[in-house]
Amino acid sequence: MYNFLYNFYSILTETYIICSICLLLMYGVFLSTYSVLGYPLLGQNFTLLILQILVFSFFLTFLQVPLNVISWNNFLLSDFFTYYAKLIIILTTIGWFLLSFEYLIYEKLNYFEFWILILLAVVAMLFILQSYDLLTIYLAIEFQSLVFYILASINRTSEFSTEAGLKYFILGAFSSAFLLCGASIIYGLTGLTNLNDLAQFFSGFLSGENLFSYNLLVGFIFILVAFLFKLSAAPFHIWSPDVYEGAPFIVTAFFSILPKLAILGLLVRFLLHTFYDLIPFWQDIILLSTFLSILIGTFGAFAQYKWKRFLAYSSINHVGFLLLAVLGGELESISSTIFYLIIYIVTMLGIFAFAINTKIYNYPSFYQMRYLIDINGLVKHNPFLAGSLVVFLFSMAGIPPTAGFFSKLFVLLAAIQVNSFGISLLAVIVSCVACFYYIRLVKSIYFGSLFSNWKVIKPMGKLSSLVLGISLLSILFIFVDIEIISIISLVMSIPFLY
């Protein structure tokens, strides 16, 4: 009985969201088929029900006592990292929801199925965080991927959205095949799938002679490649710019912000707990991926003239810095990774709040801002919006005293402590180069097309303004309470030491 209660307690939030999804699905189907008042009622209150479920899920997770327990027959793990990561994911989803409310109505994408898919994606990410077995890892990642394929092609009237979903599906199938093949190789040679059992099996693995060493390494590399693909790290980033470009803007924001924490948490647990003894092998792979991600993310952004592709390459650059922090494998490295990820989420929420909800009037209607050139001379039309965007760009570039500077500083310090001098020097040099295109955008805002025709910008909604303001204050004044986030990052990183 106690075992069942512990098992149920560890997935209380997920159970609540899944039960809510079942009720909402019936509710949506019944109202959408009711001809008189069905759709107006459905459009008005369905999104509010989603917000209520997310808020209740946050409090349900927050009021739980964080337990260090392995549940469901060693398939799921609950610890301090999963506890705080769940809170961050649900809170970020609430922030994303506030951005999406007006956009979906404007673009006529407010299907009730869209919100069902979002809740399913949140459940998938929560299960990814807790996965402690190769079987649950594969099932949770595939669950998330199937939802993402549909979300990328949710705009049924756009051929670009359909193309994005098809590309994501085809390329995602390759990464799924790599993950399954790697897990099959490891299981076939060891008979183990549990991460803790594999950690004990690989303890001292390199010190002795083993006939299956290279075969096991092949399986491990396959799984690692699949994780790097899901993280959109170079050289497995090919899908990212095309999918970001074709998907609706709000779905692009979802892809860019939310899955990073779940996949990175799983990657850190996989590398620094289960396969820590293979560090001479995976350190070289992560080093190569870090080098390419920073390089391609920086120089790829130079050639972009659309917001979505620009943010996609910027995201690849940030993934390079996240992997740079993972290189060390120490407590400082893990806490620096978590700190960087929190700052990244806050910054991207702010910049997507600007990019999604800034609409320019062109007779006879407003149109979505798609090109970087659309911000030319923004300061004379809306000085506050221009100043907010400059702060976010400075944070992405890592210019003090914004939060982005401290996050990059901590990552570089953690890398230097483990003697990664070469890649740290490269990261600093490339960051200086990256400042060029961020400052080029600032130049466009303040000095671009000052004598062009006057632009009429649609006022931003209250909910999006709230997200933009909170993100802006967090980026500017994070150094005042920087110890709080540092302590949270440190507490979240403690479980990886054991």
User: pLDDT tens digit string along 150-208?
Assistant: 999 888 888 888 888 888 999 888 899 999 999 999 999 888 899 988 888 887 666 55
Furthest-apart CA atoms within the chain: distance in Å: 75
pTM of the model: 0.92
Q: What is the mean pLDDT of the chain?
A: 84
454: nearest Cα among 353, 362, 359, 356: 362
Residue 495 CA to residue 268 CA, distance in Å, equals: 11
pLDDT in tens, 244-261: 988 988 999 999 999 988
User: What pLDDT does 211 receive?
Assistant: 45
Do 349 and 357 touch, CB atoms closer than 8 A? no
Give the pLDDT mean for 62-71. Answer: 84
User: What pLDDT does 159 receive?
Assistant: 83
Question: Is the confidence at residue 458, as pLDDT, over 80?
Answer: no
User: What pLDDT does 33 receive?
Assistant: 66
Do 67 and 78 touch, CB atoms closer than 8 A? yes
Give the pLDDT mean for 379-400. Answer: 87
Residue 126 CA to residue 76 CA, distance in Å, equals: 11
Question: Is the confidence at residue 349, as pLDDT, over 60?
Answer: yes
Give the pLDDT mean for 414-429. Answer: 86
Alpha carbon distances (Å) from 188 to 4, 213, 216, 222: 31, 13, 9, 14
Do 297 and 320 touch, CB atoms closer than 8 A? yes
Q: Classify burial at 272, counting beta carbons within 10 Å of its beta carbon; exposed 0-12, middle 13-18, buried 19 or more.
A: buried
230: nearest Cα among 187, 266, 284, 184: 266
User: What pLDDT does 224 receive?
Assistant: 92
Question: Is the confidence at residue 481, as pLDDT, over 90?
Answer: no
